[in-house]
């Protein structure tokens, strides 16, 4: 039996430039971090006493004798990709809900690949884990996804990730002075808006609009450089990071009409009026989690004004996808 633990993520800047339609022709970059909210995948070879060969448990339960008949797309394609032939049982658990803007789908794929490789006795690098997850989601499942979520799930940490050409993904850890990193973390608040959406559907609209939104995406890319300077410079006020979040949100919501809506706009305005300096909706858009940059002295007021939403405390993490339990197979 193998259990993997894979972090969810918060993406701050550059989202949209990690889609192949953009970075295969231009340069892309994002700044994002993994957080201490995790997704767990348990895998084991199934004992040969059942009428089925594959048992998969997530929000649904599947029992089948053929990989091709597995409904869950990531499970189906990962099993084929890793060339699993033995009977297998897979179980999924998570700290936070799926389809909510925290990269859970890619964390699932990364965690599953990590568990399956380990189950087969193979040790793979974080880079291969990320690249394989990108390949599975983009080429095999044919999801409308970028490449940052798989990368941050595999590597973990607070990073600048570069994209360019057909296969270049470069992870650059942002070495931030501990005092400033803690200060930044203490200014961030995460809220669940209470409704989820299919990220692939929202992302499809953004992908289709890419050629018409070159100027906006170039500006979003410039904010990646500005944000990096802010968090690395000792004397630059951390509040400037929050102001940039406000700028990137304005640009992001202008990309397509599916990214925001009246309810999200009301939530954002309420937070700003209560003292938030900036913020953004996470993920492709349409719903899910929102992050706000708020001075500690104003956080009580923001929580009060957004009391109908679920507030989720979190911390940055740096481990990425890890195998946290491994028991030799004795079947």
**258-308 pLDDT, tens digit each:** 777 888 999 999 999 999 999 999 987 778 899 999 999 999 999 999 999
Q: Report pLDDT for 168.
A: 79
In total, the chain counts a number of residues equal to 331
Residue 51 pLDDT class (50, 70, 90 cuts):
very high
Q: Flag whether pLDDT at 315 surpasses 80.
A: yes
Of 54, 19, 9, nearest to 220 by C-alpha is: 19
Average pLDDT over residues 86-96: 96
Q: Which residue has the higher pLDDT, 35 or 21?
A: 35
The predicted pLDDT at position 234 comes to: 82
pLDDT confidence of 327, banded at 50, 70, 90? confident
Contact 188, 176 (CB under 8 A): no
Q: What percent of the chain has pLDDT over 90?
A: 73
> Mind listing the pLDDT tens digit for each residue in 122-137?
999 999 999 999 999 9
End-to-end CA distance of the chain: 10
| Of the ranges 70-74, 98-102, 230-234, 283-287, the best mean pLDDT one | 70-74
Burial of 36 (0-12, 13-18, 19+ CB in 10 A): middle
| Residues contacting residue 210 through CB under 8 Å, at least 6 positions apart | 16, 19, 21, 22, 217
**Residue 198 confidence (pLDDT) above 70:** no
Mean pLDDT score across all residues of the chain = 92
pLDDT interval class at 209 (50, 70, 90): confident
Tokens representing 176? 């931030």
211 pLDDT band (50/70/90 cuts)? confident
User: Which pLDDT band holds residue 158 (cuts at 50, 70, 90)?
Assistant: very high
In the chain, where are the structural domains located?
A: 2-175+317-326, 178-311
Q: What was the pLDDT predicted at 182?
A: 92
More confident residue, 38 or 214: 38
**Dist. CA 163–CA 102, nearest whole Å:** 20
**Which of 123-126's residues contact partners 24+ apart within 8 Å by CB, and which partners?**
126/154, 126/155, 126/320, 126/321
Question: Is residue 238 pLDDT above 60, yes or no?
Answer: yes
Domain 178-311 sits in CATH at 3.30.70.890
Topology annotation, domain 2-175+317-326: Ribosomal Protein S5; domain 2 (3.30.230)
Q: Where are the beta strands (DSSP E) in 2-27?
A: 2-13
The pLDDT assigned to 93 comes to: 97
Burial 91-106 (b: 16+ CB within 10 A, else e): ebebbbebbbbbbbbb
Report the interhelical angle of 148-155 vs 126-135 (nearest 10°): 150
């Amino acid at each position: 039996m193998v259990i993997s633990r894979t972090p969810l993520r918060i993406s701050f800047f550059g989202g949209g430039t990690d889609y192949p339609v953009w970075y295969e022709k231009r340069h892309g970059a994002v700044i994002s971090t993994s957080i201490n909210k995790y997704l767990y995948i348990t895998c084991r070879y199934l004992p040969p006493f059942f009428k089925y060969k594959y048992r998969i448990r997530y929000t649904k339960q599947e029992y089948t004798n053929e990989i091709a008949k597995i409904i869950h797309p990531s499970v189906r394609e990962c099993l084929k990709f890793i060339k699993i032939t033995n009977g297998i049982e897979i179980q999924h658990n998570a700290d936070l809900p799926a389809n909510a803007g925290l990269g859970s789908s890619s964390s699932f794929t990364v965690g599953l690949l990590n568990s399956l490789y380990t189950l087969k006795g193979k040790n793979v690098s974080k880079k291969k884990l990320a690249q394989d997850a990108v390949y599975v989601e983009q080429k095999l499942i044919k999801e409308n996804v970028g490449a940052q979520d798989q990368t941050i799930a595999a590597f973990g940490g607070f990073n600048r990730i570069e994209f360019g050409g057909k296969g270049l993904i470069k992870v650059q850890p942002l070495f931030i002075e501990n005092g400033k990193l803690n200060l930044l973390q203490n200014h961030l608040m995460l809220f669940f808006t209470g409704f989820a959406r299919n990220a692939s559907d929202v992302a499809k609209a953004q992908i289709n609009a890419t050629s018409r939104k070159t100027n906006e995406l170039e500006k979003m890319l410039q904010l990646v450089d500005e944000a990096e300077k802010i968090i690395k410079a000792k004397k630059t006020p951390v509040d400037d990071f929050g102001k940039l979040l406000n700028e990137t949100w304005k640009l992001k919501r202008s990309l397509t009409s599916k990214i925001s809506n009246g309810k999200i706009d009301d939530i954002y305005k309420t937070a700003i009026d209560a003292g938030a300096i900036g913020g953004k909706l996470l993920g492709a858009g349409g719903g899910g989690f929102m992050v706000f940059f708020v001075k500690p002295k104003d956080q009580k007021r923001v929580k009060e004004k957004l009391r109908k939403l679920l507030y989720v405390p979190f911390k940055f993490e740096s481990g990425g996808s890890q195998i946290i339990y491994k028991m030799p197979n004795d079947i």
